Amino acid sequence: MHDNRFQEELQCWREGLARGHRSWVFDDGSIHSQVMFQGGDLRFGRYLVAPESSSWQREDVIRSPGPVLAFTRTPVEIEQPDRETIVADYTCATLHNTHTEYRRRRIDNRGERTVWLSLSPDAVSDILGVSLDDPSRPFDRAGAPVCAQSYLLCHAVARRLSSSEPIDNIEIEEMLLRVAEEVLSELRNPRCERPCRATTQQAHVEAALQMRRFLAQGFHEPLSLEDVARSAFLSPFHAARVFKQQTGMTIHENLRMLRIREALERMSDGTERLANVAQSVGFASHAHLTDAFGAHFGVPPSFVRRDPMGAARRLLAG
């Protein structure tokens, strides 16, 4: 059960929402939470945890009154009760049931930077196309993959809501519901796992987790398959096979996505040269980043930097 501190924070959140508040500070100022948009069946916001926060050493709780999809902008390890531990990075959304407790472990020295999308149980039921047995607990797993379109839509919406530019509420809500639909579509499909001994399966789960942790910490460095395999005490052949089995993507695909999506975040302020961004995230050159970015998102980085909402609209139109 939630301790007194959690209960006080939940009450603070509820009262703040009722009074129209948008920002909260917890844990002696080391945690900042903000609702950036509210409409109909959803809320969208951001959550920042400083690297020195005491919350890294204890449990935290989801304060939003509905289920939450969390999209981290700095990799973090998330552990929920009765769920597998996941590395929440640029490729993976964390799924939180209503008011669930969880524990975070730091991977990135910047702490945790997350944008989140909270949905009403009715919205989750509509998206999944099923009647929920327990509306407060619609998610049966800890995470789900995030495709390029959903990542770019989230990025564009967060950029627009952080600016002073006017917004169209309907457009923002439709974009966010599109993101929720794509991410939650994973829950419609039963998991298909290769039959093997329980001990072997658990070893594979832990190896994949360690490799994802290693990639999240070092994706900006020049890495070899042997480097990644060694982090999980596997041969390169077994590392590649286990990673694909457990994550649905190759090590190279995961590494490439981490670099491209970190580049997208680094471009946001518009001041850093693309050549510097490319080098800092692990690409050999500006041209290499531009080619990879265009293939992944369907639009060049210069367009996204100049007009993220325009890029998002182009994706939806396509």
May I ask the CATH class of domain 198-317? mainly alpha
Helix H, strand E, coil C: the string for the chain is: CCCHHHHHHHHHHHHHHHCCCCEEEEHHHCEEEEEEEEECCEEEEEEEECCCCHHHHCEEECCCCCCEEEEECCCEEEECCCCCCEEECCCEEEEECCCCEEEEEECCCCCEEEEEEEECHHHHHHHHCCCCCCCCCCCCCCEEECCHHHHHHHHHHHHHHHCCCCCCHHHHHHHHHHHHHHHHHHHHCCCCCCCCCHHHHHHHHHHHHHHHHHHHHHCCCCCCHHHHHHHCCCCHHHHHHHHHHHHCCCHHHHHHHHHHHHHHHHCCCCCCCHHHHHHHHCCCCHHHHHHHHHHHHCCCHHHHHHCHHHHHHHHHHC
CA distance 238 to 177: 39
Q: What is the pLDDT of residue 249?
A: 93
106-135 as b/e: b if 16+ CB within 10 A:
bbbeebbbbbbbbbbbebbeebbeeeeeeb
Instruction: For CATH 2.60.120.10, list the domain ranges present in the chain.
Output: 4-188
Q: What is the pLDDT of residue 46?
A: 94
Instruction: For CATH 1.10.10.60, list the domain ranges present in the chain.
Output: 198-317
CA distance 200 to 208: 12
Phi, psi of 71 (to 5 degrees): -115, 105
Q: CA dihedral in degrees (103, 105, 109, 111; nearest 10)?
A: -10
Q: What is the pLDDT of residue 1?
A: 44
- Other C-beta atoms lying within 10 Å of the C-beta of residue 83: 19
Q: Are strands 86-88 and 112-119 parallel, antiparallel or unpaired?
A: unpaired
pTM of the entire structure? 0.87
List Cβ neighbours of 104 (8 Å cut-off, separation of 6 or more). Answer: 49, 55, 56, 60, 76, 77, 78, 79, 112
Phi, psi of 48 (to 5 degrees): -120, 130
* pLDDT, mean of each 10-residue run, the chain (318 residues): 62 69 84 90 93 91 89 95 92 93 94 95 87 88 94 94 89 92 82 62 93 95 93 93 93 95 88 90 92 94 92 86
Name the fold adopted by 4-188. Jelly Rolls (2.60.120)
